[in-house]
Chain A
Amino acid sequence: MKFGDGATSVPALVDIDLNVSEGEMVAIMGASGSGKSTLLTVAGGLLPPSSGSVWVDGKNLRECAPRQLSAIRRRTLGFIFQDFNLVPSLNTLENVALPLELDGVRLRKATRIAMEALALVELSEYAGRYPSELSGGQQQRVAIARAVVGGRSLILADEPTGALDSSTSEIVLGMLRDRVDSGASCIIVTHDARHAAWADRIVFIRDGRIVDQARSESPSVLLTRSRPESTP
């Protein structure tokens, strides 16, 4: 992946080969400027790669017509942006319901589903507020609700816990983890090792290249050797 042309071009991603399966959560870690957000943008089809290809759900994004692409973005893909990207003129509920409405879901049904998603991020009482009336962490949770609403199967999350405290982060991670455990795929960018550890695989990138990966081992060793038998 390159930004710009000719002499001014900047390689942002080099030789990235990343496969995320159904039911798998992958965390991306790396220093600031290493290419994490770029990787997510390319994976989500928001930017075409300067070379190579991106496949989502068996479809090569490069070969998709614009209409197909936007359908994938509406139905399959949930994107949580580093800077939230909420629509300022819509309230919390409308922001979350927006992707459903764009996809032709009736208003009443969309509202119901959106309210469920808001409950998951513990923001039910804030349904009528506008983004400018929310704290940073609350805006982030709205963005998360919007990305998971309607059972999207590929969730791309750029620092989804960046503005959240420790216990709210766990709620959000637990929610993403539940989606993944019921078959979704998720790529999450994070600087926080404790949050990355929720993933099945941790990918490190440096200067746009994957330099290492950590896969979770079975925790059974820790469990069997040290878990106290639960009292009946």
Chain B
Amino acid sequence: MIGRNIHLLSIYSALTQFGGPLSVRLGLLAILNQGPCYGYQLRREFDRRTGSAWPMNIGQVYTTLDRLVRDRYASRMESDGDGQVTYAITDQGRSEVDTWLSSPVVREGASRDELVMKLAIAVTLPGVDIARVIQAQRTATLQLLQSLTRVKNSTTDPTSADELAWLLTIDAMIFAAEGEVRWLDHSEARLVRAVAEGGVEPLPLSGSKVRRGRPVKAAANE
């Protein structure tokens, strides 16, 4: 019973869980798409665009940046006089960001955080059609909801405890998916209102220099 339901449970946690492992890679890359950043600067930008809901230590930021460089989504630029290393997005990175923003968060393997983080960052970026991001996600979530409903409706009345347990699990997922759609509806309405009340300007990268940077040597050694 436990083994058989692993797939369903992964969908369930994707719909309900906050605080699971979160892939911040694309979130950081999307911010980098606005302009080159230092590591500390990138962390600060990420925090201020996501309400500091997923605090990261600087080590995580640099590890992620190193992977982005390795995968050719970002490149390391010349260090300036202060010995700080700047990172810039590549063309390949840019198209990765476009794909991320234009496609819904996939259910398996992702947690609900990823969707929240994505939307939070997306509203701070220039040139992103948020209404489309929301609509694409809503369509995907409704498709999941349709499948779950069909599974539920094709089930005859439970004749054993494990069937009953399974139906309860399906119900829980149905309500969770519905909750997500309602949150998306609400976000859309909030967006419309915000735009009507004078527009939501994208957040520019804050220009001020950050004092602490990654030493050039450490960066070059990796």
Contact = CB atoms under 8 A, between A and B. Distances in A.
A225 B146 CA distance: 17
Nearest to A231: B160
Interface residues of B, number: 38
Interface string B181-209: 11001001100000000000000000000
A226 B5 contact: yes
A202 B159 CA distance: 32
A108 interface: no
B163 A199 contact: no
A146 interface: no
Nearest to B160: A231
Interface stretch (B45-53, B61-69, B117-125, B172-180): B172-180
B70 interface: no
Given A202-B146, A212-B135, A219-B147, A193 B7 contact: no
Contacts of A227: 4, 151, 166
Nearest to A174: B153
Contacts of B140: 214
A214 B184 CA distance: 15
Given A212-B139, A230-B159, A193 B145 contact: yes
B154 A219 contact: yes
B148 interface: yes
Contacts of B163: 228, 230-231
Given A194-B174, A228-B1, A177 B153 contact: yes
B8 A193 contact: no
B189 A225 contact: no
A217 B146 contact: yes
A197 B8 contact: no
A198 interface: yes
Contacts of B4: 226-228
A222 interface: yes
Given A219-B147, A226-B5, A214 B142 contact: yes
A228 B5 contact: yes
Contacts of A31: 185, 188-189
Contacts of B160: 230-231
A211 B135 contact: yes
Given A193-B181, A198-B149, A231 B162 contact: yes
Interface in B13-50: none
A204 B184 CA distance: 13
Q: Which of B136, B149, B166 has the most CB of A within 10 A?
A: B149
B189 A216 contact: no
User: Which 8 pairs between the two chains have the least Cβ-Cβ distance?
Assistant: A216-B146, A193-B181, A197-B145, A197-B149, A219-B150, A219-B147, A226-B8, A225-B7
Interface of A: 31, 174, 177, 192-194, 196-199, 202, 204, 211-219, 221-223, 225-228, 230-231
